[in-house]
Amino acid sequence: MIRVAILGATGYTALELIRILLRNPQVQITAATTRQEGSPHISSIHQSLTGRLDLCCEDLTVPQIIERADFAFCCLPHAASAAVISELLDGGLRVVDLSADYRLNDPATYEKWYKVTHPDPDRMAKTVYGLPELYGERIPGEQLIANPGCYTSTSILALAPLLAAKLIEPTGIIIDAKSGVSGAGRSAKQNILFAECNESFSAYGVGGHRHQPEIEQVLSDVSGEPVDVVFTPHLVPMDRGILATIYARPTSDVSSEDVLNVMREFYSGKPFVRVVDHLPATKDVSGTNYCHITARRTKGYVTVLSVLDNLIKGASGVAVQNFNLMAGFPETTGLDPA
Amino acid sequence: MIRVAILGATGYTALELIRILLRNPQVQITAATTRQEGSPHISSIHQSLTGRLDLCCEDLTVPQIIERADFAFCCLPHAASAAVISELLDGGLRVVDLSADYRLNDPATYEKWYKVTHPDPDRMAKTVYGLPELYGERIPGEQLIANPGCYTSTSILALAPLLAAKLIEPTGIIIDAKSGVSGAGRSAKQNILFAECNESFSAYGVGGHRHQPEIEQVLSDVSGEPVDVVFTPHLVPMDRGILATIYARPTSDVSSEDVLNVMREFYSGKPFVRVVDHLPATKDVSGTNYCHITARRTKGYVTVLSVLDNLIKGASGVAVQNFNLMAGFPETTGLDPA
Amino acid sequence: MIRVAILGATGYTALELIRILLRNPQVQITAATTRQEGSPHISSIHQSLTGRLDLCCEDLTVPQIIERADFAFCCLPHAASAAVISELLDGGLRVVDLSADYRLNDPATYEKWYKVTHPDPDRMAKTVYGLPELYGERIPGEQLIANPGCYTSTSILALAPLLAAKLIEPTGIIIDAKSGVSGAGRSAKQNILFAECNESFSAYGVGGHRHQPEIEQVLSDVSGEPVDVVFTPHLVPMDRGILATIYARPTSDVSSEDVLNVMREFYSGKPFVRVVDHLPATKDVSGTNYCHITARRTKGYVTVLSVLDNLIKGASGVAVQNFNLMAGFPETTGLDPA
Amino acid sequence: MIRVAILGATGYTALELIRILLRNPQVQITAATTRQEGSPHISSIHQSLTGRLDLCCEDLTVPQIIERADFAFCCLPHAASAAVISELLDGGLRVVDLSADYRLNDPATYEKWYKVTHPDPDRMAKTVYGLPELYGERIPGEQLIANPGCYTSTSILALAPLLAAKLIEPTGIIIDAKSGVSGAGRSAKQNILFAECNESFSAYGVGGHRHQPEIEQVLSDVSGEPVDVVFTPHLVPMDRGILATIYARPTSDVSSEDVLNVMREFYSGKPFVRVVDHLPATKDVSGTNYCHITARRTKGYVTVLSVLDNLIKGASGVAVQNFNLMAGFPETTGLDPA
C-alpha cells in the first residue's frame, strides 16, 4: 500500500487524480491539502466524490505531510510548488509536480516567463520531464518528476516523431491550439464565467504564452537542434479537451502516408498514443488518457492534428502514468486502456 | 432628446439596456457609473460596444448624475439601489429601478427575504410594479417604476390570465423554473464558472428563493385572493432564457383549448406576449422582448409553459418598455416587434 | 470468459456498454450488429474506440449471434427487440434488453403507448424489471432482464423509499424531469441538431410520455397501491444527465430530515445510490453509475431531487449491473465504485 | 414598398434575413419557398416568428415568384440556385444569391470544387462579388450580386488591407478558421447532432475546403498578384460565430501598430468593420453585422485575428447590406449600427 498526498486538492486536476487513484487498490489517499479554513471534507469541495473518499482537506505543514505519505502529487501554483517540494524530497517523499516549476531547465527562462524568482533553481536542469512517451526509461528511478503542461504534451507528441526523423524544418512552426475552459483552473475569475465563455471563441496570449518555451525546450532536445515555434492558444466553449493544429514546412516532398508511417513507428508499443487515419475530435479522447494524432500533406506544409483531454493525458492522467512508473505499477494502472 | 444615465454599468443588464437604447435616436446615454477605478471606457467593460458608444464609466456622485441626466436606469444591487434612488427622485430624475428594492410592498417581507433593512421603506407600497401587461395604464405618469424580476415575469405572465378568470386554484401552485446562467450576474463566483455550470443541470434555492414572495404578491393582487406558490429555480447550461413549467389545479373541468382562449383574450393587443399552440422553447424568444406561453390540460392539473429572455423581457427589455411608456415613446421603441 | 454480443451497436448506449465491458477481462465482445452495409469496423462508427476494440459490425442473423455469443445486450428499437429476443432465448442466450419491450407487464398498455402490436406478449409479465436496487434478488437466476428507462430509474429511485414507507400520497405526484440530448438517440433528426438544441431549453411530450406508465407500474408495485404521476420531460442543452424535480404531498407532517433518513435506510448497502444532503447536480454523477438523491420539505409538498447519467445508470451502467448479477460477477465490476 | 421573395425559406440564413427585413417598413416579404408539402406556415418552420410574419411557405414556380416579388434572396443549394436565377433575372427581378454559384469567376474551378456542371457559366465572371467593403461602389447598379461565403468574408476582411498595402507576402498564408455549427446548415445529418458536436472540437476539410479558391480569387484581385492560402476549418461547439487566426509573413520589419494603422485607414468610414486593439471574441459580434479585426507582430509572422457572426455578417446581414445598396436604402438599414 502506497500512501499518497494531494497538495492543493481543490482544483480540477486534483479531482481527476483522486478519481484515477481510487481505481488502484494498492493506493491509499492519506492527505489532501488546502488553505481553506475549517478542514472541509473532500466531498464538500468535490460533490462528485460524495461517499467515495472519506477525507478532510487540511492546511497541513510539510512535516505533517511527510509523516502521513510516501508519495505526493503537487497541484500547487508555480513558485509555491517548488518552495514546498525541496522539503518534501528532503523528507524522503517521491513527488510528481504538476506545476510548471521543474519543467524548464533554465532559471533565467523561468523568471522571464513566470515573473518570479525560482525558489529552487539548482534542481531545475536535473529534473526529468515527465512525458513517458519520450523519457519513460528515465522516470522509474527518479524521486521528482516534472509533469508536462497540457498544451505542451499535445504539441510535443504531435511534433516529436517528425522532428526526430528530420521530416520537417525546426523553425517557423505554427501551433494553433484550442483548449476547453477547465484548463484555466477553478479560481473565480470574470473571464472564465459561464456567460463570458459560452457561445464564444477567442484567442489569448497571442505571441506570449508560457507553454511556448517549454515546447521549444523539449522539442529542441528531441531534434538535437534549436526548435522555434509560434504558439497561439484559444479558448473553446467546452469543459475539456485540447486540439492543436500544427503547420510545419517539410524538408522534402513527403506524402501524408510517409508522415503517418513515421508517427506509427515512433509510437509503436506506446499504450496511450494512437496514430489515426481520420481527423480526430477532442471528444474521441474525452475522459481518457489517450492522445490521438494524425497528419496531412497540404500545399507547402505538413498539417498535424493532435487531441487529448487536458485534465487527463494533459495533467492528471500522465501524472499517474509517471507515478505508476516510479512506484513499479504497470504504466496503465487506473488509466483504462483496452 | 432624453439624457439617460445607467447606474451600475458593468453587468449584463446594463449592456442589454445600452444595446436597446442605442436604437432610439431620441435617447442619449450621458452617464454610466461604476465603482471601478480609473474611469474605464465602456468598450473596455463591454467589448461588443467598441465603436458604438463613446463614454467612460465613472464613479459619479448623485448630484453629478442629476446634472447630466433626465432619466436613470438603476442596475445597482438591492439596498444600494434604494439608497440612491430617493436622492435621484428628489433631484427630479425619473427612474426605472432594476433592483428588487421597490418590488415588494411590505418592508417586513423585504427584510425577511433580503436580510437587510430597507433604506427607503415608505416608498415601497406606493411604487408601481413595472409589468406593463398588468399595470401599463399606471406607468406613464410615474416618477419611479419597480422593474420586475426575471423569474417573476415569466411566472406572472403565465398565471395571471388563469387566476383572473378563476380557472385555477390559487393555492399549492408549483412553479418549476429553469434559467440560463446570465441570470446569476457577472461577478466572479466559483459556482458560475464555465467548467462548473457547463454540462450540468441543478436546482438551487429549493423552498426559499426571493422571487417567490414577489410572485405571490403580484398574483394575489391580480386574483383578489391570497395566492400561494412553491417555486423551484434551476440553472441551465445556456447563456440566456427562462422556461417555467407550472402545475395548477383547475377549478372546473376545463380543456386545453379553454385555457388557451382565456390567455389569448387576456393578452389581446399586447405586443410582447404571444399565446402559442406549440410547446415553446427558450430559443424562440432569445434576444427578443417576447414572452411565449401555452397551456395543456393534464391529469389533474393545468400545465402552463412560459418562456422569455431573462436579460430582455425579464430585465432590460421590459425596463425600456417602462421607459417608453414614461417618456411618451411608443411602447415598442427599440424592441423590434413585427 | 463470457462471449458477449451487442445488438444495435451504432448508438450511444452501445458505445457506453463497450467502454464498460472492456474493463472486465473475463468478457469478450464477439459480435456487434448493424444494418449498415459493408460491415464497418467499430472504430469507424465510434472513433473513440480506435485501437481499443478490433471488431466489425455486421448484419448478423440470429443463428449467427447464437453461435458467437453466450450473452446479448439488445440495443434495438422497441418491437424490433422483442422480435429477436424470443429466438435468442430459445437459442440459450441470456439477454439484457435495453429497449422498452419487456418493461411493461400489460400488452394493452404497451400497445396504447408504443402504437404497435407486441411481438412476444406472453413473456411481458414474467420478465423481471432490471432495477437492481428494487429487484436485485430476483435478477441472478433470470434468462431475460428488462433494462429500465432512463427517466424511469431517476424517478423510481427517488420515490420508492417514500412510497414504501407511506410518507407521501400515491396520487397527483408531479415529476418534472430534465434530460441531456443524448437521451434522444443518435439518428439524424432535425430537432436534435446542435443548432436547434444548443442555447435552448424546452419541454416535450407534455402529458404523454411513454415513461409515465412504466413509472406508475413499478411504483404501484413498490407501494402496494395504485400510483399516479404527471410526468413532464424537458430537453437540456448538455450531452448527458437527468435531473428529476419531484413534488409529492406528505401523508403527515414530516421534516426534511425524516425523509432523508427513510431514504438512507432504504439504500443502505446499495453501492450506486447515494442519499446526499446537498442539492445534487447532474455533473456530480456524469460518466458514473451513481444516482444521487435528496429531499426537502417545502410548503405543502415534499420536494425530491434525483440525478443520474442517462447513458450509464440510466441505461448501459445498470445493464452491466444486471449482467454482473446474472453472470455471477461482483455487481460493481467495471462500474468504478469506490 | 419593395416586395421581397425568400427562396429556400427553411434554413437559418432565411430566418436571419426575415428578422432583419422585418425592421425595414418599406419592405414586404411576399413569398417564401420550400419543397415541403402542404404549404406550411412560416411560424411552423421557424417558431420564433410566431405572430411576427403571416406567410405560408409554398413550392412556387419561377413565374409565380416573378409575379409576386421585385427582389429575391436566393438561399437554395449550389447549382439549384443558378438554375433558377437566370430565369428570375429574365423576369426582371433583382437578386442576391446566397449560394456559391456566382462567387467564382471560372467555371472550371467551380466544377473542380463543387463536383457539378454550372448551369449558367457565362454569367459567373460578370457577377459582382458582394463584399461591400471592397466592391461597394459597383453594387448599386447591379441586377445580381453573389453574396460571399462566411469563412471567406472573415478571411478576406482580415487580409485585404495588408495585401493591398504589400505588407505581407501573398503566398503561404495560413488561415486557421473556427466556426459555430449553424454554418453547417439545418438539414438532419448525424455529424451535426447535438450529442456529436457538443463538448467537442475538430477540424474538417483539411487541405480541401471550397472556400479556399474563393478566398484566393478575391485576395488575388485585391493584391494584383496571385495569392495562395492554406485554409483549415474547424467546428466549435457554439451556435454562431467565426474566428480566423491568420499567419502571414511580413515583407518588411513592421510592428503591430504599423499593421493596425494600415487596417484602420483601409476601413475608415466603413460602418461594419472595426479595427480593435484587444483580442476579439466571437461573442463580441454575435447577433450583429460587425466584423472585428486586429493584428499582432509575432516571431516571423503577422498574426491577424478576425471575428464575425457567420449567419449575419457572414451571410444574411451582408446580403441585406447588398440589398440596401441595390435598392437605394441606407447601407445600414435594419442592421443596427450605432
D329 membership: H or E segment, kind and range: none
User: What are the residues whose beta carbons fall under 8 Å from the beta carbon of A308, sequence distance 6 or more?
Assistant: A150, A153, A154, A157, A241, A242, A285, A290, A291, A292, A314
Say whether pLDDT at B197 is over 90: yes
Residue that the C-alpha cell 450621458 belongs to: B30
Long-range contacts: D41-46, Cβ < 8 Å, 24+?
D42/D9, D42/D18, D44/B278, D45/D9, D45/D10, D46/D14, D46/D15, D46/D18
Contact B88, B144 (CB under 8 A): no
- Superfamily per CATH, domain A151-310: Dihydrodipicolinate Reductase; domain 2 (3.30.360.10)
pLDDT, chain D, mean:
97
Q: What is the per-residue pLDDT across A40-93, written as a single tens digit (0 to 9) for each?
A: 999 999 999 999 999 999 999 999 999 999 999 999 999 999 999 999 999 999
Residues of chain C contacting residue D196, judged by C-beta atoms under 8 Å apart? 186, 194
Query: What's the grid cell of residue D224?
Result: 494584383
Average pLDDT over residues D18-31: 96
pLDDT, chain A, mean:
97
Contact C101, C129 (CB under 8 A): no
Interface predicted TM-score (ipTM): 0.97
Confidence of residue B337 (pLDDT cuts 50, 70, 90): low
Q: Is-above-0.95 flag for pTM?
A: yes
B118 membership: H or E segment, kind and range: none
Q: What is the per-residue pLDDT across A190-235, written as a single tens digit (0 to 9) for each?
A: 999 999 999 999 999 998 889 999 999 999 999 999 999 999 999 9
Say whether B337 and D278 touch across the interface (CB within 8 A).
no
Set B74, B150, B197, B291: catalytic member: B150
- Superfamily per CATH, domain D2-126: NAD(P)-binding Rossmann-like Domain (3.40.50.720)
Closest CA to B63 of B18, B35, B19, B33: B33
Distances (CA, A) of D103 to D72, D87, D106, D290: 17, 18, 9, 22
Set D75, D150, D197, D291: catalytic member: D150
- Burial label, A208 (beta-carbon count in 10 A; 0-12, 13-18, 19+): exposed
Interface of C with D (CB under 8 A): 12, 180-182, 184, 186-190, 192-199, 237-239
Closest CA to B316 of B103, B6, B22, B17: B17
Residue that the C-alpha cell 509573413 belongs to: D249
B contact chains, 3+ CB pairs < 8 A: A, C, D
CB pairs under 8 A between A and B: 65
Closest CA to B100 of B232, B18, B213, B227: B213
How far is residue B215's CA from residue B129's CA, in Å, rounded to a whole number? 11
Determine the 3-state secondary structure of D173 from DSSP.
strand
Say whether pLDDT at D182 is over 60: yes
Determine the 3-state secondary structure of D263 from DSSP.
helix
Best residue in C20, C27, C52 for a mutation probing chain A (most A CBs within 10 Å): C52
Our answer to whether residue C56 is catalytic in this structure is no
Contact D290, D308 (CB under 8 A): yes
Check if CATH label 3.30.360.10 holds for domain D151-312.
yes
Residue that the C-alpha cell 492534428 belongs to: A305
Say whether A47 and C287 touch across the interface (CB within 8 A).
no
Residues of chain B contacting residue D243, judged by C-beta atoms under 8 Å apart? none
Say whether pLDDT at A308 is over 60: yes
The pairing of beta strand C273-275 with beta strand C291-298: parallel
How far is residue C118's CA from residue C320's CA, in Å, rounded to a whole number? 26
- Map out the domains of chain C as residue ranges: 2-126, 151-310
Task: Give the closest-approach CA distance of A252 to chain B in angstroms.
Answer: 44
Nearest residue, CB atoms, A228 vs list D207, D239, D299:
D299
Q: What is the per-residue pLDDT across C52-76, written as a single tens digit (0 to 9) for each?
A: 999 999 999 999 999 999 999 999 9
Task: Give the closest-approach CA distance of B86 to chain C in angstroms.
Answer: 36
Say whether pLDDT at C151 is over 60: yes
The pairing of beta strand C202-203 with beta strand C173-179: unpaired
pLDDT, chain B, mean:
97
Say whether pLDDT at B268 is over 90: yes
DSSP state string for A122-176: GGTTTSEE--HHHHTTTSTT-SEEEPPPHHHHHHHHHHHHHHHTT-B-SSSEEEE
Residues of chain A contacting residue B187, judged by C-beta atoms under 8 Å apart? 190
Residue that the C-alpha cell 459560452 belongs to: A198
Q: What is the per-residue pLDDT across B4-36, written as a single tens digit (0 to 9) for each?
A: 999 999 999 999 999 999 999 999 999 999 999
DSSP state string for D241-253: -EEEEEEE-BSS-
Interface of D with A (CB under 8 A): 171-172, 174, 176, 178, 180, 196, 198-204, 206-207, 228, 230, 232, 234, 236-241, 243, 245, 247, 279-283, 286, 296-301, 303, 305, 307
Beta strands across the sheet bearing C301-308: C202-203, C229-235, C173-179, C242-248, C301-308, C291-298, C273-275
Q: What is the per-residue pLDDT across C215-268, written as a single tens digit (0 to 9) for each?
A: 999 999 999 999 999 999 999 999 999 999 999 999 999 999 999 999 999 999
Closest CA to A303 of D175, D243, D211, C43: D175
Residue D323: what pLDDT?
98
Residue B333: what pLDDT?
96
Query: A239-243, B220-224, B298-302: lowest mean pLDDT where?
Result: B298-302
- Burial label, C273 (beta-carbon count in 10 A; 0-12, 13-18, 19+): buried
Contact C168, C258 (CB under 8 A): no
Residue A337: what pLDDT?
61
Residues of chain D contacting residue B48, judged by C-beta atoms under 8 Å apart? 283-286, 288
Residues of chain C contacting residue A49, judged by C-beta atoms under 8 Å apart? 338
Task: Give the closest-approach CA distance of B190 to chain C in angstroms.
Answer: 15
Report DSSP state, residue C145: E
Set C57, C74, C75, C150: catalytic member: C150
Residue B80: CB atoms within 10 Å: 17
Task: Give the closest-approach CA distance of D193 to chain C in angstroms.
Answer: 4
Nearest residue, CB atoms, B201 vs list C172, C199, C238:
C238
Say whether C48 and A276 touch across the interface (CB within 8 A).
no
Determine the 3-state secondary structure of C173 from DSSP.
strand
Q: CA neighbours within 13 Å on the CB side: how many for D217?
A: 21
Residue D336: what pLDDT?
81
A262 membership: H or E segment, kind and range: helix A256-266
C contact chains, 3+ CB pairs < 8 A: A, B, D
Task: Give the closest-approach CA distance of D180 to chain C in angstroms.
Answer: 9
Residue A208: what pLDDT?
83
Average pLDDT over residues A281-289: 97
Scanning every residue of chain B, which has its alpha carbon at the shortest distance from the alpha carbon of D291? B48
Residue B207: what pLDDT?
85
Q: Which amino acid is at B198?
A: N
Task: Give the Cα-Cα-Cα angle A57, A63, A67 (nearest 5 degrees).
Answer: 80
Residue C207: what pLDDT?
85
- Burial label, A22 (beta-carbon count in 10 A; 0-12, 13-18, 19+): middle
φ, ψ dihedrals at B318, nearest 5°? -65, -30
Confidence of residue C337 (pLDDT cuts 50, 70, 90): low
Closest CA to B254 of B170, B168, B174: B168
Q: What is the per-residue pLDDT across D77-115, written as a single tens digit (0 to 9) for each?
A: 999 999 999 999 999 999 999 999 999 999 999 999 999
Say whether pLDDT at C155 is over 70: yes
